[in-house]
Chains A and B, each alone.
Chain A
Amino acid sequence: QKEVEQDPGPLSVPEGAIVSLNCTYSNSAFQYFMWYRQYSRKGPELLMYTYSSGNKEDGRFTAQVDKSSKYISLFIRDSQPSDSATYLCAMRGEYNFNKFYFGSGTKLNVKP
């Protein structure tokens, strides 16, 4: 079993839709959770970063962590064609600062 599971998609939605991207994980020691956006042939860009459980909002993006279910989500409101990219979740534990675990990425396509 992989440490982090993420549906590869592709996920295709019309412009303006609310998008929900998700990851599940198996290691209860994970405390830091990140979402990255990667455009084709570019490096990943850090979008959201949360610590432990709860929600974090930044503009049209909301990151949600449910540690009891080992489930994290990224919501995109009013999705735009420019949001079309691959979204990677990542996580790490409290003490092993340099050991990150990445999901395989979900490809999102927002149609105009």
Chain B
Amino acid sequence: GAVVSQHPSWVICKSGTSVKIECRSLDFQATTMFWYRQFPKQSLMLMATSNEGSKATYEQGVEKDKFLINHASLTLSTLTVTSAHPEDSSFYICSARDGVSEQYFGPGTRLTVT
């Protein structure tokens, strides 16, 4: 149980384009989902927390207009990186919890912006 998937696992996009990453909880209803960013050999950096049907809460320093988060259902959250630039290249990881559990993480999405 407690499986979280992400799609795509790896994406390359050109500078200036937008890319969407999906996060799904496969066997439980995720009332809360989290989006993290991780640079090589560094720990997780929380970007935002989203509750189903509500606007996401962004961490300080994270641009809301650049990283659009939608948590439209209890099993799906999406992160859209708008007008991507090479400095947005990173490993993006989502996690989910059902309100009583701890966080279960997805496998991550590697974004490369050329």
Chain A residues close to B by CB (< 8 Å): 32, 34, 36, 41-46, 49, 88, 90, 97-98, 100, 102-105
Question: How big is the B interface, by class?
Answer: 20 to 34
Knowing A41-B108, A43-B93, A43-B108 touch, does A32 contact B43 (C-beta < 8 A)? no
Question: What residue of chain B has the Cβ atom nearest to residue A49's Cβ?
Answer: B102
**A104 cross-chain contacts in B, Cβ below 8 A:** 42-43
Q: Does B72 contact A (CB under 8 A)?
A: no
- Other than the given A43-B4, A98-B49, A102-B44, 20 more pairs (CB < 8 A) read A34-B102, A41-B108, A41-B110, A43-B6, A43-B106, A43-B107, A43-B108, A44-B44, A44-B93, A45-B105, A46-B2, A46-B103, A46-B105, A49-B102, A88-B44, A97-B32, A98-B32, A98-B34, A100-B103, A105-B43
Q: Does B104 contact A (CB under 8 A)?
A: yes
A sample of 14 cross-chain residue pairs with beta-carbon separation below 8 angstroms, ordered by A number, consists of: A34-B102, A43-B106, A43-B108, A45-B105, A46-B103, A46-B105, A49-B102, A88-B44, A90-B103, A98-B32, A98-B97, A100-B34, A100-B46, A105-B43
**A46 cross-chain contacts in B, Cβ below 8 A:** 2, 102-105
Q: Does B99 contact A (CB under 8 A)?
A: yes
**A43 cross-chain contacts in B, Cβ below 8 A:** 4, 6, 93, 95, 105-108
A44 to B110, CA, bound (A): 14
Q: Does B91 contact A (CB under 8 A)?
A: yes
**B99 cross-chain contacts in A, Cβ below 8 A:** 97
**B108 cross-chain contacts in A, Cβ below 8 A:** 41-43
Q: Which of B16-53 contact A (CB under 8 A)?
A: 32, 34, 42-44, 46, 49
